[in-house]
């Protein structure tokens, strides 16, 4: 019987990085957890001590992503986002965090990762929009069934939510 | 000792705008072009004055978020509150901030250095009862943006882990030879210090070079200030960990500190557990995680510091030359 390709990816990942690549778990807002896993932090340490290993991961990622594993896509997208973030390719990091959001918009960690990559790209209004209104954004993205919308559309949504939320706060402050 | 200092002329307005001399020396370092960038917190009601001050000295400024309810203990109960170490605050957008909320700002002489510090410089705040921590890699890179030496950043990466290490004690262990006053970070939250980073050792060559350069440059502008800083940095210190530190008027001889006056020098006065006990004596020494306090040769108190899993207290005595 052929082995599950994700298990092979995990083995290869561990061989390069020296720690496990676990299947990404959803950080639901309701769960009240700051972050679900330490993958980004562990990769940051790896990058700081041995950047070539992260470069190696980037090379393997291309192949892993081409396997089109539907169940594990969010894990691979976020991993790709982290690797490009570490290599300061924030455009690509943003692209993969957006894909991770499309795979699972309920996962707050995907939104936060996107917001920090936007900060590096100078898209501060969108980054702040996510930081300050993450709850509305997670909710409306799902409620309006926006999976797969363009980044331009997403931007509009985030800016609109931010504007409405600020207007509401201003009004309640005046009262 | 440790009274607020007003420079004669150079950067004097900084203190009246902030109502504090905290980070004055770092501001001077940025103005003098020795430090590439810094971040600070300015009350919203005085932000325009601060912007004007920056422009006067040829500095560029970038605003981040506003800090509200600073040090409100209820913030610690937010999701992720256990990850907060020093400053705790609610984050709000600058446009919504109240006049007395503090705006997190970044300043630099160069646009590039300013942007580099800004992108990596998010400071953890709680928003909607959730702590927003930046990616760990940004924390590591931020040190480069602030002009810290590479060796110190690498050391920080390994030892700034409140669960496993007492960072300051690790620096102490890594110090071979006489500690240099130019590497003294303990008074960094007051005006009396030349560095704002944790050095890799208390005689780190790169830190000595950096702080020495700054000292010489300030000496040309404010010689009295330099004299005072040197005097403070060369006092004896008893260190427990980053938020519990004491300076003394006295002298260390044969591993014993003989003292007259005690000053709490960490940032938060509410975390000052030992000043009263220390004042009971006039001599102390450290032995096996215990601080033994004597008065005229007789034991008057002992401070025990058993090993802990968080913010481990590892007491040590040090005097810089």
pLDDT digits (tens, 9 = 90+) for B119-142: 999 999 999 999 999 999 999 999
Arithmetic mean of pLDDT, B89-109: 95
Residues in chain B whose Cβ is within 8 Å of chain A? 65, 79-80, 83, 91-93, 95-96, 115, 119, 122, 127-128, 130-138, 140, 154, 157
**pLDDT value, residue A2:** 59
Arithmetic mean of pLDDT, B241-264: 94
- The pair of three-digit structure tokens given for residue B151, joined into one six-digit string: 């060796």
Arithmetic mean of pLDDT, B25-40: 97
What is the least distance, in Å, from the CA of B197 to any CA of chain A?
19
Arithmetic mean of pLDDT, B188-197: 90
Band of pLDDT at residue A128, cut at 50, 70 and 90: very high
Whether the per-residue pLDDT at B309 is higher than 90: the answer is: no
- The pair of three-digit structure tokens given for residue B231, joined into one six-digit string: 């005097």
Arithmetic mean of pLDDT, B274-279: 95
User: Which positions in chain A touch B83 (Cβ < 8 Å)?
Assistant: 34
Tell how strand B102-108 and strand B244-253 pair up: unpaired
A14: DSSP letter: H
Distance CA A42, CA B151 (A): 21
User: Which positions in chain A touch B135 (Cβ < 8 Å)?
Assistant: 40-41, 44, 85, 113, 116
Whether the per-residue pLDDT at A1 is higher than 60: the answer is: no
Secondary structure E strands in chain B: 37-43, 60-68, 90-92, 102-108, 125-127, 130-132, 236-241, 244-253, 256-264, 283-287, 290-295, 298-304, 316-319
Whether the per-residue pLDDT at A71 is higher than 80: the answer is: yes
Band of pLDDT at residue B87, cut at 50, 70 and 90: confident
* Average per-residue pLDDT for chain B: 93
Distance of CA B152 to the CA centre of its chain: 15
Distance CA B267, CA B86 (A): 9
Whether the per-residue pLDDT at B311 is higher than 80: the answer is: no
Q: Nearest residue of B to residue A125 by CA position? A: B93
User: Which positions in chain A touch B127 (Cβ < 8 Å)?
Assistant: 131-132, 134
Residue of B130, B141, B157 for testing the chain A interface, max A β-carbons within 10 Å? B130
What is the least distance, in Å, from the CA of A3 to any CA of chain B?
34
- pTM score, whole prediction: 0.91
Arithmetic mean of pLDDT, B159-166: 82
Neighbours of B19 (CB within 10 A): 10
| Residue among A48, A119, A128 minimizing CB distance to B93 | A128
Whether the per-residue pLDDT at B269 is higher than 70: the answer is: no
User: Which positions in chain A touch B128 (Cβ < 8 Å)?
Assistant: 132, 134-135
What is the least distance, in Å, from the CA of B98 to any CA of chain A?
10
| Residue among A119, A120, A166 minimizing CB distance to B93 | A166
| Residue among A40, A48, A122 minimizing CB distance to B157 | A48
Arithmetic mean of pLDDT, B54-70: 95
Interchain proximity B96–A32, CB inside 8 Å? no
**pLDDT value, residue A93:** 98
User: Which positions in chain B touch A166 (Cβ < 8 Å)?
Assistant: 93, 95-96
For B2: left if phi > 0, alpha if psi spans -120 to 50, otherwise beta; the answer is left
Arithmetic mean of pLDDT, A140-150: 92
Arithmetic mean of pLDDT, B302-309: 85
Residue that wins the pLDDT comparison between B145 and A168: B145
- The pair of three-digit structure tokens given for residue B180, joined into one six-digit string: 């240099």
Q: Nearest residue of B to residue A51 by CA position? A: B137
Q: What is the DSSP string of A72-88?
A: THHHHHHHHHHHHHHTT
Q: Nearest residue of A to residue B117 by CA position? A: A120
Arithmetic mean of pLDDT, B68-84: 82
Arithmetic mean of pLDDT, A20-37: 93
Tracing tokens 């044969």 back to the chain, one arrives at B254
**pLDDT value, residue A169:** 83
Interchain proximity A45–B136, CB inside 8 Å? yes
Q: Nearest residue of A to residue B150 by CA position? A: A48
Q: Nearest residue of B to residue A113 by CA position? A: B135
**pLDDT value, residue B279:** 96
Arithmetic mean of pLDDT, B213-235: 97
Whether the per-residue pLDDT at B271 is higher than 80: the answer is: no
Whether the per-residue pLDDT at B162 is higher than 80: the answer is: no
């Amino acid at each position: 019987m052929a082995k599950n390709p994700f298990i092979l990816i995990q083995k290869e990942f561990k061989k390069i990085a020296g720690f496990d690549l676990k299947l990404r778990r959803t950080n639901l807002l309701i769960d009240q957890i700051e972050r679900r896993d330490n993958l980004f932090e562990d990769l940051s340490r790896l990058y700081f001590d041995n950047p070539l290993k992260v470069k190696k991961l980037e090379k393997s990622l291309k192949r892993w992503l081409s396997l089109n594993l539907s169940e594990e896509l969010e894990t691979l997208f976020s991993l790709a986002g982290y690797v490009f973030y570490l290599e300061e390719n924030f455009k690509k990091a943003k692209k993969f965090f957006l894909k991770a959001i499309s795979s699972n918009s309920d996962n707050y960690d995907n939104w936060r990762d996107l917001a920090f990559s936007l900060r590096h790209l100078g898209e501060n209004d969108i980054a702040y929009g996510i930081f300050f209104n993450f709850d509305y954004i997670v909710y409306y993205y799902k409620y309006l069934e926006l999976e797969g919308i363009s980044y331009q559309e997403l931007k509009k949504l985030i800016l609109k939510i931010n504007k409405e939320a600020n207007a509401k706060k201003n009004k309640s402050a005046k009262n | 000792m440790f009274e607020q200092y007003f420079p004669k002329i150079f950067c004097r307005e900084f203190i009246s705008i902030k109502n504090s001399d905290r980070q004055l020396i770092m501001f001077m370092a940025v103005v003098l072009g020795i430090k590439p960038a810094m971040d600070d917190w300015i009350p919203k009601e005085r932000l325009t004055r601060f912007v004007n001050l920056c422009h006067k000295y040829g500095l560029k400024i970038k605003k981040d978020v506003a800090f509200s309810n600073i040090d409100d203990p209820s913030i610690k109960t937010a999701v992720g509150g256990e990850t907060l170490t020093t400053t705790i605050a609610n984050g709000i957008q600058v446009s919504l901030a109240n006049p007395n909320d503090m705006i997190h700002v970044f300043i630099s002489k160069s646009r590039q250095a300013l942007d580099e510090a800004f992108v990596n410089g998010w400071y953890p705040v709680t928003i909607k009862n959730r702590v927003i921590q930046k990616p760990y890699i940004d924390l590591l890179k931020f040190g480069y943006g602030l002009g810290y030496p590479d060796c110190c950043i690498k050391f920080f990466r390994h030892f700034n882990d409140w669960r496993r290490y007492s960072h300051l004690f690790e620096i102490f262990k890594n110090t071979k030879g006489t500690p240099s006053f130019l590497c003294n970070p303990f008074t960094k939250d007051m005006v009396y210090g030349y560095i704002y980073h944790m050095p890799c050792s208390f005689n780190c060559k790169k830190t000595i070079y950096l702080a020495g350069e700054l000292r010489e440059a300030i000496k040309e502008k404010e010689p009295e200030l330099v004299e005072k800083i040197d005097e403070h940095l060369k006092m004896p210190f008893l260190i427990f960990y980053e938020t519990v530190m004491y300076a003394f008027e006295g002298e260390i001889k044969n591993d014993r500190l003989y003292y007259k006056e005690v000053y709490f020098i960490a940032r938060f006065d509410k975390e000052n557990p030992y000043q009263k006990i220390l004042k009971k004596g006039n001599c102390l020494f450290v032995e096996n995680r215990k601080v033994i306090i004597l008065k005229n040769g007789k034991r008057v108190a002992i401070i025990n510091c058993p090993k802990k899993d968080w913010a481990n207290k590892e007491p040590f005595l040090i005097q810089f030359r």
